[in-house]
Homo-oligomer: A and B are copies of this chain.
Amino acid sequence: MYSIGIDLGSVASKGVVFDGQKVIAKVILPTGWSPQKTGEKILKDLLLEGGIDRNQVKAIVATGYGRGILSFIDKKVTEITCHGVGAYFLDSEIRTVIDIGGQDSKVIKIDDKGNVIDFLMNDKCAAGTGRFLQVMANALDLDISQLSQVAEGAVPQNINSMCTVFAESEVVSLIAEGASKESIAAGLLQSVANKTYSLISKVGVQNKVFFSGGVSQNPLLKRYLEEKLGITIYTSDMAQYMGAIGAAIIGYNI
C-alpha cells in the first residue's frame, strides 16, 4: 500500500507517493489560479508517475496554504507539523528547520522524536520570502533562479530598506546610479539572509539545521546564512517536498 502527501503552497504545489519506506514518485506544479485543479492534477500525475492505482492508496493527506480546498483527501495537517515529520524522516538528527517559501518563512524546532517543540512563522510581510526575491529579480530583469549564479563572487551592495516596496525603489535607483546587477543581486540575497537570521534569532537555533522550501535551492543565500549563524546548514534537492513528504508519512500511519 501507498500514501500520498500533497502540499498546496502559495506559489508551488508539491506531491509525493510514499511506500512506507521511501518516496517513489514526486510532482511539482505552479499553484496558479485554482489550487483545487492543481491538487487534482498532482494526484493524477502522481498515480501515473508512481505507476500505481488509486485503490492502492490508503490515505491522501493535504498540507500547505491551500489544504482546505481539496475534496478528495482523508485528512489535512498544518505545514508546521508536516515539515517536522518530513525533516525527521529525511535525517533524524535535524533539530531546526528553516523553511522559506514563495510567500512565507518559518523556523521550526523539533525534538529527538520529530515532534515540533517551537516555531515562528512570518506570513504577514513579503520581505524575507520568495516573493521579495521575485519582485527584485523582476526589477533586475532576471529570472529568480538566476539570482544566486549572477551574484556569485560579487561584493554585495548594501540594500538599506528591508521593505520589499522600498527596496524595489532602492534597486531601481542603484541601477540608475550604475551599480552592477551582480552586486545588487548579492545584496538582495544578503537582505533575505538577514531577515531570516532575525526570525531564527527569536526562536534560537539547534543543530542540525535543515533549509527547506523553494528558496533553499539558492546556494549563495544558504552560504550567507551559514556565515551569519556560524554553522553548517543542510539542504537537499528534495527540500521543496518536505511538507508533502511529512503529509504522506502521516497518511501512511493513519
Complex Cα gap A125–B128 (Å): 13
Q: Give how many copies assemble into the complex.
A: 2
Complex Cα gap A60–B164 (Å): 36
User: Is A165 located at the chain interface by the 8 A CB criterion?
Assistant: yes
- Please name all residues of chain B whose beta carbon is closer than 8 Å to the beta carbon of A124 when the two chains form the complex: 161-163, 166
- Please name all residues of chain B whose beta carbon is closer than 8 Å to the beta carbon of A157 when the two chains form the complex: none
- Please name all residues of chain B whose beta carbon is closer than 8 Å to the beta carbon of A135 when the two chains form the complex: 165
Q: Which residue of B lies closest to A173 (CB)?
A: B33
- B164, A165: Cβ atoms closer than 8 Å: yes
Complex Cα gap A125–B135 (Å): 16
Complex Cα gap A163–B164 (Å): 9
Q: How many chain A residues touch B (Cβ–Cβ < 8 Å)?
A: 13
User: Is A103 located at the chain interface by the 8 A CB criterion?
Assistant: yes
Question: Shortest beta-carbon distance, A173 to chain B, in Å?
Answer: 9
- Please name all residues of chain B whose beta carbon is closer than 8 Å to the beta carbon of A163 when the two chains form the complex: 124-126, 164
Question: Shortest beta-carbon distance, A182 to chain B, in Å?
Answer: 24
Question: Shortest beta-carbon distance, A37 to chain B, in Å?
Answer: 16
User: Is A109 located at the chain interface by the 8 A CB criterion?
Assistant: no
- B164, A103: Cβ atoms closer than 8 Å: no
Complex Cα gap A155–B132 (Å): 32
Question: Shortest beta-carbon distance, A41 to chain B, in Å?
Answer: 21
Complex Cα gap A163–B125 (Å): 6
Complex Cα gap A252–B217 (Å): 60
Complex Cα gap A161–B126 (Å): 10
Give the residue of B126, B161, B162, B166 whose beta carbon is less than 8 angstroms from that of A166. B126
User: Is A131 located at the chain interface by the 8 A CB criterion?
Assistant: yes
Over the window 146-165 of chain A, the binary record of Cβ atoms lying under 8 Å from chain B Cβ atoms (1 yes, 0 no) is 00000000000000011111
Over the window 115-145 of chain A, the binary record of Cβ atoms lying under 8 Å from chain B Cβ atoms (1 yes, 0 no) is 0000000001110000110010000000000
Interface residues of A (CB under 8 A from B): 103, 124-126, 131-132, 135, 161-166
